[in-house]
């Protein structure tokens, strides 16, 4: 299966993506602050369900195509690297909005909370790009069954994202208040995240498939 070194790099990429501002983080943070932890957790279940959909789509055939067509792999490699660089820039650019500035949302029913969490992640461009251009770069036929590797990586990404988002749901109010009164810590977090994402982008762009 996947070598430990590659798995750790992939996990770091998944962590960087989970920590970068995006629709999931904004929705879960805002919902948890406006309607409480239970609402945030129900929304998170919807987000996780959408991740399962992404995993199944990638593992059922897309990854196999990307790893067997050199041109497709090359194109997606640079698309993925460019997207990571864009995320890095969004993290460190002057005047960037803080992901911890939550929006005001009206209360919703449990069913709607789940559906909104699902749709937010299903239509999340970060998730789509991650599964279509970053995940396939860690799948190599010489390491075993392509489907099994895809599922292993997809589940890893889902677990990392779930852990980060669950922490956000549980500590939403504390996180928002903490960073609101400590701009220096927020800037440090932004630069650290930008550095990690930028480093991953360079690593992916220079990767040579053997």
**174-210, pLDDT tens digit by residue?**
766 666 666 666 666 667 667 766 776 776 677 665 4
Task: Tell whether the torsion through CA atoms of 80, 130, 201 and 187 is positive or negative.
Answer: positive
* DSSP class per residue in 117-183: HHHHHHT-HHHHHIIIIIGGGG--GGGS-HHHHHHHHHHHHHHHHHHHHHHHHHTHHHHHHHHHS-H
**25-40, pLDDT tens digit by residue?**
878 888 888 888 899 9
pLDDT higher than 80, residue 49: yes
Query: Is the entire prediction scored with pTM above 0.75?
Result: no
Instruction: Give the rounded percent of residues in the chain with a pLDDT score beyond 70.
Output: 68
Tell me how many degrees the CA angle 128-200-64 measures, rounded to the nearest 5: 45
**64-78, pLDDT tens digit by residue?**
555 455 565 666 667
User: Helix (H) and strand (E) counts for the chain?
Assistant: 10, 0
Which helix or strand (DSSP H or E) is residue 80 part of? helix 70-92
**98-130, pLDDT tens digit by residue?**
555 555 667 789 999 999 999 888 877 677 777
| Residue 154 main-chain phi, psi, to 5 deg | -65, -45
**Residue whose C-alpha is closest to residue 130's, from 12, 3, 2, 6:** 12
């Amino acid at each position: 299966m996947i070598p430990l070194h590659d798995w750790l790099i992939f996990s770091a990429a998944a962590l960087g993506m989970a920590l970068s501002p995006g629709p999931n983080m904004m929705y879960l943070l805002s919902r948890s602050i406006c309607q409480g932890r239970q609402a945030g957790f129900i929304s998170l279940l919807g987000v996780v369900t959408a991740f399962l959909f992404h995993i199944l789509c990638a593992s059922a055939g897309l990854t196999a195509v990307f790893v067997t067509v050199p041109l497709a792999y090359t194109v997606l490699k640079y698309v993925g690297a460019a997207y990571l660089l864009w995320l890095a820039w969004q993290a460190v650019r002057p005047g960037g909005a803080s992901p911890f500035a939550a929006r005001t949302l009206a209360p919703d029913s449990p069913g709607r909370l789940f559906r909104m969490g699902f749709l937010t992640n299903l239509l999340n461009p970060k998730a789509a790009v991650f599964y279509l251009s970053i995940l396939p770069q860690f799948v190599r036929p010489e390491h075993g069954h392509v489907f099994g590797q895809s599922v292993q990586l997809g589940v890893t990404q889902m677990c990392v994202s779930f852990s980060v988002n669950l922490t956000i749901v549980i500590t939403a109010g504390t996180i928002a208040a903490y960073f609101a009164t400590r701009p220096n810590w927020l800037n440090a977090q932004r630069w650290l995240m930008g550095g990690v994402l930028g480093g991953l982008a360079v690593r992916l762009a220079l990767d040579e498939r053997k």
